[in-house]
Amino acid sequence: MGNGARNGIKTVGLAPNLSSGFYGQDIISVRQFTRENLQYIFAIADEMRAVVKRVGSTDLLKGHVLACVFYEPSTRTSSSFIAAMSRLGGSVIPINEVRYSSVTKGESLPDTIRTLESYADVIVLRHPEVGASQVAAEYARKPIINAGDGVGEHPTQALLDLYTIQSELGTVDGLHVAMVGDLRYGRTVHSLARLLCQYDVQMTFVSPEVLRMPLDVLNEVKAHKRDVEETYDVHDVIASADVLYVTRVQRERFADQAQYDSVKDFYVITSELMGQAKERMIVMHPLPRVSEISYAIDNDPRAAYFRQMENGMYIRMALLAAVLGKA
């Protein structure tokens, strides 16, 4: 759905901000969200969590159909959306093999989307190319939810990250959020940093030189007059961080092994390191992890990454209900 008219009526243009409500809208970018929008979705997510904990599911979207279209596999994200739709009482068309099908016969993305929207009420799209969701939204009459478009955006991930911070710590304002690891290629940290600009937070970006946060994100944070610093070593932030958002540092990003070996220990979260952290703080990770967080801290109550996964389902339930006008 290309635009911001209310009542689910489409007009043409870039994905708009959501000031006139979510019904019938596309969810393409974190840039669409005001602080007010975020609190609205988080409040619905809170309700969704309460329903799931109490009775498992609702019939809110009974009779509605979601087409879950993944041009590249992502078990985590697709499972989360399927679970979300199921717990709302709706049905899912899982499409995981677009690559084998019409697309290989040369079909364009708009044609695929226009076909699928003739069957479904809402479309979740994962695509390897930046901007694919925006293109889909321009052609579709039904709402499109971006589930990741290449190195572009993954707005539902950013929302669940922010929601986790608020759920776990009760607030976002006043926190010190440290992002650790690969900040250059990590889509999640870019989107989260942008979202955090709407809050009164202090950010520290912790990464090796070759994996520093891109300048455009850094400048956007500064433009919002947020307190931001950069450092190479997680030890610089461990004692003061309220949120330690960890991402994977891949060996392949380094020119040689020696360079990698010289920095890798700066970015591994161990029990010893956690000994220096606050008692009330959280460790987050978008998963999958490899070795950047020691398994030994999984049972530390500050390890929030599995709760973060669960929050993803509540956020997606909230978004699905909202764009279908049932929130």
List the catalytic residues: 76-77, 105, 126, 154
Determine which residue in the list 28, 30, 116, 320 makes contact with a second copy, applying CB under 8 A. 116
CA distances from 40 to 19, 27, 57, 163, 174 (A): 11, 14, 20, 11, 20
Nearer to a second copy, 111 or 209 (CB): 111
Both tokens of 152, joined, read 């572009």
- What burial letters (b/e) apply to 86-107, b meaning 16+ CB within 10 Å? bbbebebeebbebeeeeeeeee
By CB under 8 A, tell whether 96 contacts a second copy.
yes
Determine which residue in the list 12, 105, 256, 279 makes contact with a second copy, applying CB under 8 A. 105
Residue 7 region by backbone torsions, left for phi larger than 0, else alpha for psi between -120 and 50, else beta: left
Site string for a second copy, 308-327 (x = CB under 8 A): -xx-xx--------------
Cα–Cα distance between 158 and 147 in angstroms, integer? 11
Nearer to a second copy, 222 or 295 (CB): 295
From 103-111, 169-177, 192-200, 213-221, give the range in contact with a second copy by CB under 8 A.
Answer: 103-111
By CB under 8 A, tell whether 111 contacts a second copy.
yes
By CB under 8 A, tell whether 3 contacts a second copy.
no
Quick one: which H or E segment has residue 143?
Answer: none
Of 54, 260, 89, 84, give the one whose Cα is nearest residue 156: 84
Applying CB under 8 A, the residues found at the interface with a second copy are 55-58, 62-65, 67, 73-76, 79-80, 82-83, 86-87, 89, 91, 93-98, 100-102, 105-107, 110-112, 114-116, 118-121, 287-290, 295, 306-307, 309-310, 312-313
